[in-house]
Amino acid sequence: MKAFVDSGFLLTLLLKTSGSQKAWEVARPLEGPLLVTSLQIYATENRLQREIESDDSTEAQRAVAANALQNFRWYLDQQVFRSVRLDYDIAIDLASQWQRRGRETLPALLPLWPALGVTMGATHFLGFDPRTRSLARAAGLKLLPQKL
């Protein structure tokens, strides 16, 4: 099994949200590391670091972000998450095809997440967003959780 984690699901694993318990229930029993891309690592670290540095963040928000960033780096070191190299041009071309065929134009990165999963040869797609899940399902990836 090669399980790709979309960015929303990844953040749900890292930050304590209403969906975090469910996300870990889905992720824990899976064999091997959860697959991510260098783009996701960069974007996640950037988002958390910006929260830590923001003047608008409370001390509690800064602490949560710092803890999430520390945990994320530890998870990467421990191979809970594993970065997979891939050809971004192929993934972007696939996401662009889906965008042109879609009924609505999605935010730019939403179709990219399932396209990255397809490009890296993932068998499963972990995500909560129905929009990314529908693209992943149409591309032949098995969805986790199976139902929202």
DSSP assignment of 60-116 equals HHHHHHHHHHHHHHHHHHTTSEEE----HHHHHHHHHHHHHHSSSPPPTHHHHHHHH
User: In the predicted model, what is the mean pLDDT of residues 10-38?
Assistant: 94
pLDDT digits 0-9 by tens, 16-28: 889 999 999 999 9
Q: With contact defined as beta carbons under 8 Å apart, do 7 and 40 qualify?
A: yes
For a pLDDT cut of 70, what percent of the chain falls above it? Answer: 100
pLDDT of 53 over the 90 cut: yes
What are the tens digits of pLDDT across the range 56-81? 999 999 999 999 999 999 999 999 99
Task: pLDDT band for 148, please (50, 70, 90 cuts).
Answer: confident
Quote the percentage of the chain above a pLDDT of 90.
Answer: 91
Q: What is the pLDDT of residue 35?
A: 97
Residue written as tokens 């999605």?
A: 106
User: For 28, phi and psi rounded to 5 degrees?
Assistant: -55, -45
pLDDT of residue 101: 92
Per residue in 82-114, pLDDT (tens digit) is 999 999 999 999 999 999 998 888 998 999 999
Predicted local distance difference test score (pLDDT) of residue 12: 96
Confidence class of residue 139 from pLDDT cuts 50, 70 and 90? very high
Q: pTM of the prediction?
A: 0.92
What's the token pair of residue 116?
A: 């990255």
Sign, CA dihedral 46-52-55-56, equals: positive
Q: Cα–Cα distance between 119 and 129 in angstroms, integer? A: 19
